[in-house]
Amino acid sequence: MAEYGIHHATFGRSKPSVFEIIGQENLITALRSAFRHGFKVLAENYPEKFGILFRHFDEGYTVVDSVFQYIHLRLKGGLFPETFYGLKRIPDPRSLDVSKRKIASWVFLAVVLPYIQSQMELLYKNVREEYSNGILNYKDFKRRLALLYLKFYPIYNFLWEITVLGYYMAFALNKTKFHSPLMHLTSTTLTHLTAFDLSDDAWKEYIPEKQKKLTTALWNCMNIFVGGVTLTISVGAFLTQFINWWYNSEGNTTSFAPMPVPPPPLKWSIDESVDICPLCKKKRANDTALICSGYVFCYPCIFRFVKENKKCPVTGYKSSLDQLVTLYQHDD
């Protein structure tokens, strides 16, 4: 903390290095992927509860992140990744001179715009795939629009990337005080946090005397919430790194709890013809596989058996009706 104080006293407003800038921007991407991965694991294990959440992950994350970043700007003076890297915004979002509208525009550019850009990228990939497979199912005007999009999106994307890179270079070479085109658009710069900023109650200083009681109580709750999220993410980031290291370092290739490999089934003789249903011993009708064991039965036979016994008739593995898969052959 003292070093920040000295730094601040000596140089006034200090400019962050390009490494700090890139670090905090990488953190934004890393956090989104980490949460996405968490929801993916949940959706794979509990598809009925979390499947829908995972399908709408991007939209949900954008909404929650917008609210969180807005509160974070008002309390800590910067977006979460910025203050995580010891940086804050100038003009300071906690000061009363900064309008709510300006803070909302910061949130839009930092959270909503990247969401829109990722959706544009996704759309481009989908249209391109349909086009290259010859299944672009649009007619007339829509088709022309899709083809135009295929042509112009890469140009837009290239120009955007080159602008971002240009800003990084100009910033590193001290040619501009803005590290990105979006920061330039809102005339916002970043500077290091001071010892005062690092104290837990710095935000209270910015609340006007008149409304101190009510506003302080309200923002106090939010401050505790923001503190909790920050701690969780910091600990989470450390644990993720640790688990990554554990899995990737040599000699640790075994997982924490290896899945047991079931023994081969004994009851089923491979001499029997392959198109016989193990239950009715007749030629199979409406081939249906049971996922847990891989055996194929007639649909009515296996449906009835699993419904009553909740296990595979051949192997005895625990089964349920949602493990039935109807098999279709090419000439069906």
Least distance between Zn ion and beta carbon 300 (Å): 7
User: Contact between 277 and Zn ion (CB under 5 A)?
Assistant: yes
Check if the beta carbon of residue 196 is closer than 8 Å to that of residue 202.
Answer: yes
Q: Which residue is nearest to Zn ion (CB)?
A: 277
Check if the beta carbon of residue 299 is closer than 8 Å to that of residue 286.
Answer: yes
User: Contact between 306 and Zn ion (CB under 5 A)?
Assistant: no
- Could you give the CA distance from residue 57 to residue 70 in angstroms, rounded to a whole number? 20
- Residue type present at position 153: Y
Query: Is 190 or 298 the residue whose CB approaches Zn ion more closely?
Result: 298
The strand ranges marked E within 152-264 are 189-192
Residue 94 is classified by DSSP as: T
Stretch that binds Zn ion, among 46-54, 161-169, 209-217, 295-303 (CB under 5 A): 295-303
Query: Is 63 or 279 the residue whose CB approaches Zn ion more closely?
Result: 279
**Selected binder of Zn ion within 110, 182, 301, 312 (CB under 5 A):** 301
Query: Is 239 or 280 the residue whose CB approaches Zn ion more closely?
Result: 280
Least distance between Zn ion and beta carbon 302 (Å): 7
The terminus-to-terminus CA distance of the chain in angstroms comes to 73
Say whether the peptide bond before residue 262 is cis (omega within 30 degrees of 0).
no
- Between CA 152 and CA 158, with CA 153 as vertex, the angle to 5 degrees is 100
87 phi, psi to nearest 5 deg: -120, 155
User: Contact between 279 and Zn ion (CB under 5 A)?
Assistant: yes
User: Contact between 289 and Zn ion (CB under 5 A)?
Assistant: no
Query: Is 110 or 277 the residue whose CB approaches Zn ion more closely?
Result: 277
User: Contact between 280 and Zn ion (CB under 5 A)?
Assistant: yes
Query: Is 111 or 298 the residue whose CB approaches Zn ion more closely?
Result: 298
User: Contact between 296 and Zn ion (CB under 5 A)?
Assistant: no
**How many Cβ atoms are within 10 Å of 102's Cβ, its own excluded?**
15
User: Contact between 298 and Zn ion (CB under 5 A)?
Assistant: yes
Where on the chain is the footprint of Zn ion (CB under 5 A)?
Answer: 277, 279-280, 298, 301
